């Protein structure tokens, strides 16, 4: 049985992928491009994730950060925050890893057609949103106004800086960037990303909002979007929990009555607002 068919038959069986390039984004963050050892990579939707397995170390859920239209490879941006993610971020070209996926619910890019779209990203949260941005730009005529709001801790912590600059030069996309702490050379916005929302130009009655970042940032961003007039049913957040099985069996990622791995990671605010502020969830 071919490897891809075998992986589809057994969701716990990883497929072998080879690392073809590694780009160091930040001191603790790297973007890996990986290709299947045989065949074409499976399709995925913006916002979905893979389970990446480092042999002898373990497995971790990592969101897609590449272009859905490129069927030759997966792209993952990984921050070193533990044993497995650290091992992945330290890989070099030529290494072999195991991949299970893709899994989960993605950004509702089809439902958003005909509407304005506001992207709100904090720190590494820009990575799971990048496939959605690629989709919006590739299908620009299907959407209204597209606004990207990104916040980083400092100019040195800015993810995908060259792409942000390129998107900003695109005359039909609004891009605003802010940092929590500026250095003397920074000439841009200073402050949390939620402060950019009241200043952004969009029609709240006809807007979908996609939000990803630290959970506290997403709580405040979603509140600011609702305060601006965006319906809670049109605000979507990418939740992050300890996903182990990726198919809703183990219960590690339970979030209230839902499981992030199969009911998320992208969830509508109206469905999770009541449990977002519960510290124990």
Q: Domain holding 122: CATH number?
A: 3.40.50.80
Query: Residue 244 pLDDT > 90, yes or no?
Result: no
Determine whether 155 is exposed, middle or buried from the number of CB atoms within 10 Å of its CB (0-12, 13-18, 19+).
Answer: middle
How many Cα atoms occupy the beta-carbon half-sphere of 87 within 13 Å? 15
Supply the pLDDT for residue 256: 85
The pTM score is 0.93
Residues 169-192 have a mean pLDDT of: 93
Cβ burial of 273 (10 Å; 0-12, 13-18, 19+) is middle
> Are 69 and 196 contained in the same domain?
no
Residues 120 and 245 in one domain: yes
Per-residue pLDDT, 161: 95
Is residue 123 within 8 A of residue 152, CB to CB? The reply is: yes
Residue-wise pLDDT for 135-170, tens only, equals 999 999 999 999 999 999 999 999 999 999 999 998
Quickly count: other Cβ atoms within 10 Å of residue 80's Cβ. 17
Nearest to residue 143, comparing CAs of 98, 210, 87? 210
Q: Is it the case that residue 5 has pLDDT exceeding 80?
A: no
* Domain stop point among 47, 71, 103: 103
Mean pLDDT taken over the chain: 92
Domain C-terminal end among 47, 78, 103: 103
The predicted structure's pLDDT at residue 249: 87
Residue 121 burial class via C-beta count within 10 angstroms: exposed 0-12, middle 13-18, buried 19 and up: buried
Our CA dihedral for 38, 40, 46, 49, rounded to 10 degrees, sits at: -20
Q: What is the mean pLDDT of residues 38-59?
A: 93
| 96 domain residue, yes or no | yes
Q: Does any domain span residue 266?
A: yes
Tell whether the torsion through CA atoms of 145, 102, 82 and 222 is positive or negative: positive
**In contact, 23 and 103? CB cutoff 8 Å:** no
- Show the domain range for 142: 116-276
Q: Note whether 95 and 121 are same-domain residues.
A: no
Kindly state whether residues 247 and 143 are assigned to the same domain. yes
Let me know the angle formed at the C-alpha of 122 by 118 and 123, rounded to the nearest 5 degrees: 140
- Give the residue-averaged pLDDT of 98-112: 96
Q: What three-state secondary structure class fits 8? A: helix
Task: For residue 108, tell me if it sits in a domain.
Answer: no
Q: Which of 70, 103, 136 marks a domain boundary?
A: 103
In a domain, 31, yes or no: yes
- CATH code for the domain of 32: 2.40.30.10
pLDDT-based confidence at 9, cuts 50/70/90?
low
With cut-offs at 50, 70 and 90, classify the pLDDT of residue 275: confident
Residue 174 predicted with pLDDT over 50: yes
Provide the number of structural domains found in the chain: 2
111 in a domain, yes or no? no
Tens digits of residue pLDDT in 197-212:
999 999 999 999 999 9
Same domain as 99, residue 64 = yes
Q: 281 lies in a domain?
A: no
């Amino acid at each position: 049985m071919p490897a891809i068919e075998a992986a589809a038959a057994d969701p716990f069986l990883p497929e072998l992928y080879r690392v073809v390039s590694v780009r160091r984004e930040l001191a603790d963050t790297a973007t890996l491009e990986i290709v299947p050892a045989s065949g074409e990579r499976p399709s995925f939707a913006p916002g979905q994730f893979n389970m990446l397995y480092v042999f002898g170390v373990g497995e971790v859920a990592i969101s897609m950060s590449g272009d859905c239209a490129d069927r030759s490879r997966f792209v993952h941006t990984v921050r070193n925050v533990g044993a497995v993610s650290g091992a992945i971020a330290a890989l070099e070209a030529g290494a072999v890893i195991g991949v299970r996926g893709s899994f989960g619910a993605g950004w509702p890019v089809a439902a958003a057609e005909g509407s304005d779209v506001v992207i709100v990203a904090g720190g590494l949260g820009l990575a799971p949103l990048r496939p959605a941005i690629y989709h919006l730009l590739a299908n620009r005529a299907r959407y209204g106004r597209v606004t990207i709001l990104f916040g980083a801790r400092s100019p040195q912590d800015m993810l995908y800086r060259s792409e942000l600059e390129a998107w900003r030069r695109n005359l039909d996309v609004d891009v605003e960037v802010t940092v929590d702490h500026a250095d003397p050379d920074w000439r841009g916005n200073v402050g949390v990303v939620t402060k950019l929302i009241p200043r952004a130009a969009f029609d709240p009655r006809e807007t979908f909002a996609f939000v990803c970042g630290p959970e506290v940032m997403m709580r405040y961003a979603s509140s600011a979007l609702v305060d601006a007039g965006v319906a809670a049913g049109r605000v979507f957040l990418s939740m992050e929990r300890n996903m182990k099985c990726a198919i809703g069996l183990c219960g590690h990622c339970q979030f209230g009555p839902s499981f992030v791995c199969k009911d998320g990671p992208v969830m509508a605010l109206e469905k999770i607002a009541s449990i977002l502020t519960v510290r124990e969830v």
